[in-house]
Structure 1
């Protein structure tokens, strides 16, 4: 008897397909089926992109397709005015810088070479009286600039105590001009702290009185049609001999802006 043939084994899911087999392998990609409504999105000749996006949400792409409004002429005028104003400021700054580099402005100088201490006395322990004459020299060292002292106040100090002050009338100086102003300080019943009054008495007895003169000025500089102003501060430390014929023994003056 011939043995009965065994039934064919069912194909395994993990078996390797026969390379000579012609059985079609299903594609892993899903089939794409066209819907009946796909024809609705077909652009007709009469339709525009704006009509196509009517059914879509408002996205950035749709907003970019909108027609932009024209800029208001008023905004253009304001922008042009700002541009012109900025250009003028830049040109003015460059012109000023060039003038400063060419002219090289210098600060006026406040100094002295003569002063006299006439009177110092106390009618009470703390009440000071004095008479002091100060010759101020104002010098304009610039070669191409005129200066004008529009405001000038000079103060007399002893050991940080204000004992007299004097204002000066406005005056002008041309290039490289030097002017002399006589300032007369009179102190009457000036109250001094007791320790400062005693120090002043000691200096008078030692024939060496230390005074300080401070000046505050507002200077205006002119160069053609250009003008600019600034504040000037000066200080002179003076060493005087004792009154009644006190004279200037030494000085140190500083002028700065």
Structure 2
């Protein structure tokens, strides 16, 4: 049997039927790139003269926002620069002096000491008489040394039993000087364990004393001067009084 004809998109009006509205086909149109390009709205193009004037406008804004530097800031910067240059020059000069002159610390030593008296009152008051010869040596060949401050203390164990100070004095290159010191102890309170140890050492004929010194030294080289502190210590082994002589010693000096 023959197939029926497909329905027409547009129906033919039937004279015997009611008026019908024609059916419109749906518009499914495939968009091509040409259509898309055609339907895309035209982009607004910036005129060339705006690009040419933009750098000038930016420069004007930068110049307008730029502020002048405060003169006080310039003064501070100049002072800091000068101060830095002076520090560098001083450091270089000091380095040259140390490399060329090779300064050495003065030496503190002794070769003679006497322990004359040791007497202990109850309850633990110490009395003593001790003489000490201090030797000071300037080992430098081009530097003069001056001891502006010198203080020495006499110790037994870790207790101070006498003190002495020395007047300021100077030493030339490679010069050695001696100073006689007389330490007198009167009613110095000592702990009981130190008193017992001192009595034991006196009986064994080996009394251990310590002399500690603190010095402020000024070194001169022409117009150049610099000052520093020295600490010295001498450990002494003495025989028992009244004829207490120096039996052994060990002295050190450091900054």
| Interval of TM-score (by shorter of Structure 1 and Structure 2) | 0.7 to 0.9
Question: Which of 32, 43, 50 does residue 42 from structure 2 map onto?
Answer: 32
Counterpart of 1:230 in structure 2 is 228
Residues 125 and 197 of structure 1 are in contact (CA less than 8 Å); yes or no, is this contact kept in structure 2?
no
**Pairwise CA distance, 1:115:** 0.4
Deviations 1:91-116 (A, max 9, x none): 11111111111111111111101101
Taking the aligned partners of 2:122 and 2:218, their CA distance within structure 1 comes to: 44
Question: Which of 208, 216, 219 does residue 218 from structure 1 map onto?
Answer: 216
SS at match of 2:37: coil
Taking structure 1 as reference, are residues 6 and 250 closer, same or farther at Cα in structure 2, changes over 3 Å only? same
**How many residue pairs end up in the alignment?**
234
Taking the aligned partners of 1:61 and 1:7, their CA distance within structure 2 comes to: 74
After TM superposition, the score normalised by the length of structure 2 is: 0.79
Counterpart of 1:198 in structure 2 is 196
Residues 222 and 228 of structure 1 are in contact (CA less than 8 Å); yes or no, is this contact kept in structure 2?
yes
After TM superposition, the score normalised by the length of structure 1 is: 0.79
Taking structure 1 as reference, are residues 157 and 27 closer, same or farther at Cα in structure 2, changes over 3 Å only? same
Residue 153 in structure 1 maps to residue 163 in structure 2: no
**Pairwise CA distance, 1:67:** 5.8
Counterpart of 1:183 in structure 2 is 181
Question: Which of 155, 160, 163 does residue 162 from structure 1 map onto?
Answer: 160
Over 6 Å off, 4+ runs: 3-11
Q: Which has the larger radius of gyration?
A: 2
Unpaired segments ≥5 residues, structure 2: 10-24
Taking the aligned partners of 1:4 and 1:220, their CA distance within structure 2 comes to: 130
Counterpart of 2:244 in structure 1 is 246
Deviations 1:69-124 (A, max 9, x none): 43344443432232222212211111111111111111111110110111111232
Taking the aligned partners of 2:178 and 2:254, their CA distance within structure 1 comes to: 19
Over aligned residue pairs, what C-alpha RMSD do you find? 3.4
Counterpart of 2:17 in structure 1 is none
Residues 129 and 190 of structure 1 are in contact (CA less than 8 Å); yes or no, is this contact kept in structure 2?
yes
